[in-house]
Amino acid sequence: MTSKCIQRIVRWAIDTDLKTFAEDAYGVTGSAFYRSDDYLKAKFRLMQRDFIRWIAGLDNGNRKRLIKAINSKEI
């Protein structure tokens, strides 16, 4: 892992909002976002409070989605 990778992860964690978080980490978009709002809010708070525990709990598919989203962001 390079320092650029770490910078991207940190920037994503700091700059993301709930909607972007839902899309990037869980693939939740559109009306599905509103149906799973409480679940996503709880996960978002966990990510903000305890990033390592949250990311360790992601399944492989969601982790791959998140990696792709983070790497697509410009820093």
Residue range 27-58, pLDDT digits in tens: 999 888 888 789 999 999 999 999 999 999 99
Instruction: Report whether pLDDT(70) > 90.
Output: yes
CB 55 within 8 A of CB 63: yes
| Per-residue pLDDT reduced to its tens digit, 18-27 | 999 999 999 9
